[in-house]
C-alpha cells in the first residue's frame, strides 16, 4: 500500500466505500471508478518517466521543440512533474461548485492530490459533489440561502480543518476575490491557492486597481477617484463628464452589479440596482463610475507570478463578444490586434503585476479603441476562459496554480517568458440553459437529451450538462464550456 492508502501498483478497486460523516455532512460514496482512470494515466506517465533516460538524441530534440526547453532541462522537468506537488500537501478543498470545481479536481487527481467538495443543500445533486474523493454539505438545510452557502466562510474553513485539508482552491466567483476569506484560510494553517490577501485588497477591488495602474503610468478609462456611496456623487460625476457612463461593482465580475447609463433619467434607478446586485452577488455593494466606451475591444492578459519576483504573461485573449456585460465567446490570441498594440498591452499588464509582486494566476483586462488601450481591472483568480490560453500555450494553469501554492517558483518549474510560445488559435463558447424565446432568461428543469461534440481539437469542460441533470434556479446557468483549437483561426472556428 502507498502512503495515501491506495495499492502501491496505482490501481484502486472499484468499490463504493464511504467517508466519515462531517458534522453537517452525510456519508458520500467515494467515486473510486474515477481514480481507476486517473491512476492508469499516472501509471502510463510513470512508465514514460522511467524510459526517459533511454531516449535517443533525436527524440530529445523532439521534446525540446515540443516543450520549448533545453534537452537535459526538459527531461528533468518531465521527471519532476505531478508527484512532487503532493509532497507539499496531499488534500485540497475546492470552495466552489459546478464546472470549475470539476476542472480543479481533474488536475488535482492527476497530481496525486485528494479532493474535498462542498455543496449547498439545494445543490446536493450537482455532479461536482460526486467527482470528489469526499464531499460535504456546507451547513444544515435552511441555515443559508443557496448562494449564501458558498459564501459561508467559517463553515467552509471548518470543513477544510475537520477533513485535514492542506489547501483551499476558490475557483472563480463566490469567495475567490475575498481578501478576508484568504486571510482566514491562511490563519487556519491552510494554503490559499491564489494571490496574497494584500494583493487581493490592492487589485480585487477595481477602484484600488485603478489607483495601482495610475501609479504605474498605465492608462485608465476616466472615472471616479474612488468608490461612491451617494447618488449625489454619481450626479456630480455625470454632470462633469457627460453620458454615457457605466456603473460597476468594485468587487467581483461576470457582469453583475454593472449598469450602462445613457441619460440622466436612468441614473437614479441604475445606481440603486447596481448597488443591490453587487451586494447580493459579492457581499459588497460598493460601486464606482467610468466613462462608457461604445463598441471597444475587450482584451485581457493572462498573468502568472510566483510571489518571488518572477512574473510572466501567457499572451492575451479577446473577450469582446458579450451579452449584458458577460463574456460569451473568448479567443486566444486576439485575432485582430496589431503587434504594436499587443506589445504595449502585454507590457502594461506585466508592469502592474510586478508592482505588487503578484503571486499565482490572474488576468489584467483592458478596453481598446481607435485612440489606444485603457486598463480596467485585474481579476486575481483563475478565469472562466482560461481554457483557450491552455490550448494555445500547452500549459495547465490549474497545475501551475497548485505548484505555486505549494511553494514552487517559476524557475523551479522551468518556466520563463522566452519559453512561452503560441501555437495556433483557440475559441471558447459557453453553453448555458438560457432560453432565447424568453429573452435569454435562465431555464430550469430536467435535461432530457444531451449530445456533446467531439473530435480532434474539441475540448469540453462540463459541470451540469448531462442527460438527466436537474437544473435549479439557484445558480449560474452555465452547463458546459466548449473550446475548439486549430493551427489557424479559421480551423479553430
Sort residue 295 into left (φ over 0), alpha (ψ -120 to 50) or beta. Answer: left
Peptide bond connecting 244 to the previous residue in cis, omega within 30 degrees of 0: yes
**Is 103 an annotated catalytic residue?**
no
The sign of the torsion formed by the CA atoms of 200, 206, 207, 211 equals positive
Grouping H, G, I as helix, E, B as strand and the rest as coil, residue 320 is strand
How is residue 470 written as a grid cell?
Answer: 436537474
With contact defined as beta carbons under 8 Å apart, do 94 and 118 qualify? Answer: yes
Contact at 8 Å (CB) between 382 and 100? yes
Q: What is the largest CA-CA distance in the chain?
A: 74
**Pairwise CA distance, residues 249 & 251, whole Å:** 5
Q: How many helices (H) and strands (E) are present in the chain, helices listed first?
A: 17, 20
C-alpha cell at 240: 462633469
Among 58, 90, 62, 102, residue whose Cα is nearest residue 78: 62
Taking CA atoms, 5 is separated from 1, 12, 121, 132, 275, in Å, by 6, 10, 30, 16, 50
**How far apart (Å, rounded) are the C-alpha atoms in residues 283 and 148?**
9
List beta partners, residue 322: 327
DSSP class of 88: H
Instruction: Please check whether residue 319 is in contact with residue 282, taking contact to mean a CB–CB distance below 8 angstroms.
Output: no
* Ramachandran category for residue 476: left, alpha or beta (phi over 0 → left; psi -120 to 50 → alpha): beta
List the catalytic residue out of 103, 275, 342, 381. Answer: 381
How far apart are the C-alpha atoms of 317 and 338, rounded to whole Å?
13
Helix or strand (DSSP H, E) at 434: strand 434-435
Is 135 in a helix, a strand, or coil?
A: strand
How many whole angstroms separate alpha carbon 201 and alpha carbon 383? 18
Give dist(CA 161, CA 172) in Å, integer.
Answer: 22
Q: Catalytic residues, which ones?
A: 381
Amino acid at each position: 500500500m502507498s502512503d495515501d492508502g491506495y495499492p502501491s501498483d496505482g490501481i484502486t478497486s472499484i468499490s463504493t466505500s464511504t467517508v466519515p460523516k462531517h458534522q453537517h455532512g452525510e456519508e458520500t460514496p467515494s467515486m473510486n471508478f474515477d481514480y481507476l482512470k486517473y491512476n492508469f494515466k499516472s501509471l502510463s506517465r510513470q512508465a514514460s518517466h522511467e524510459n526517459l533516460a533511454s531516449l535517443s538524441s533525436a527524440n530529445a530534440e523532439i521534446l525540446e521543440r515540443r516543450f520549448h526547453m533545453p534537452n537535459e532541462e526538459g527531461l528533468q522537468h518531465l521527471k519532476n512533474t505531478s508527484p512532487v506537488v503532493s509532497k507539499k500537501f496531499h488534500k485540497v478543498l475546492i470552495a466552489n461548485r459546478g464546472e470549475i470545481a470539476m476542472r480543479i479536481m481533474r488536475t488535482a487527481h492527476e497530481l496525486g492530490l485528494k479532493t474535498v467538495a462542498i455543496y449547498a443543500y439545494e445543490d446536493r445533486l450537482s455532479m461536482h459533489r460526486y467527482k470528489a474523493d469526499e464531499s460535504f454539505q456546507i451547513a444544515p438545510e435552511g441555515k443559508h440561502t443557496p448562494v449564501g452557502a458558498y459564501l459561508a466562510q467559517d463553515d467552509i474553513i471548518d470543513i477544510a480543518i475537520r477533513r485535514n485539508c492542506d489547501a483551499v482552491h476558490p475557483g472563480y466567483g463566490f469567495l475567490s476575490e475575498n481578501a478576508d476569506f484568504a486571510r482566514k484560510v491562511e490563519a487556519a494553517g491552510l494554503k490559499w491557492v491564489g494571490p496574497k490577501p494584500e494583493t487581493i485588497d490592492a487589485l480585487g477591488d477595481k477602484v484600488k486597481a485603478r489607483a495601482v495602474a495610475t501609479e504605474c503610468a498605465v492608462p485608465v478609462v476616466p472615472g471616479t477617484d474612488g468608490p461612491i456611496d451617494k447618488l449625489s456623487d454619481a450626479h456630480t460625476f455625470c454632470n462633469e463628464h457627460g453620458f454615457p457612463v457605466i456603473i460597476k461593482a468594485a468587487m467581483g465580475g461576470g457582469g453583475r452589479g454593472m449598469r450602462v447609463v445613457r441619460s440622466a433619467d436612468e441614473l437614479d434607478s441604475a445606481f440603486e440596482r447596481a448597488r443591490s446586485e453587487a451586494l447580493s452577488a459579492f457581499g459588497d455593494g460598493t460601486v464606482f463610475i467610468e466613462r462608457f466606451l461604445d463598441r471597444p475591444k475587450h482584451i485581457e492578459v493572462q498573468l502568472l507570478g510566483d510571489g518571488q519576483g518572477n512574473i510572466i504573461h501567457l499572451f492575451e485573449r479577446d473577450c469582446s463578444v458579450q451579452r449584458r456585460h458577460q463574456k460569451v465567446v473568448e479567443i486566444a490570441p486576439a485575432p485582430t490586434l496589431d503587434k504594436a498594440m499587443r506589445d504595449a498591452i502585454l507590457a502594461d499588464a506585466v508592469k502592474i503585476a510586478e508592482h505588487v509582486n503578484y503571486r499565482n494566476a490572474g488576468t489584467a483586462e483592458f478596453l481598446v479603441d481607435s485612440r489606444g488601450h485603457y486598463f480596467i481591472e485585474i481579476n486575481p483568480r483563475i478565469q472562466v476562459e482560461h481554457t483557450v490560453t491552455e490550448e494555445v500555450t500547452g500549459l495547465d494553469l490549474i497545475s501551475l496554480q497548485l505548484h505555486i501554492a505549494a511553494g514552487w517558483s517559476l524557475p523551479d518549474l522551468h518556466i520563463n517568458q522566452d519559453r512561452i510560445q503560441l501555437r495556433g488559435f483557440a475559441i471558447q463558447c459557453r453553453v448555458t440553459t438560457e432560453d432565447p424565446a424568453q429573452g435569454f432568461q435562465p431555464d430550469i428543469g430536467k435535461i432530457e437529451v444531451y449530445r456533446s461534440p467531439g473530435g480532434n481539437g474539441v475540448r469540453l469542460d462540463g459541470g451540469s450538462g448531462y442527460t438527466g441533470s436537474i437544473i435549479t434556479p439557484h445558480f449560474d446557468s452555465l452547463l458546459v464550456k466548449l473550446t475548439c483549437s486549430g493551427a489557424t483561426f479559421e480551423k479553430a472556428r
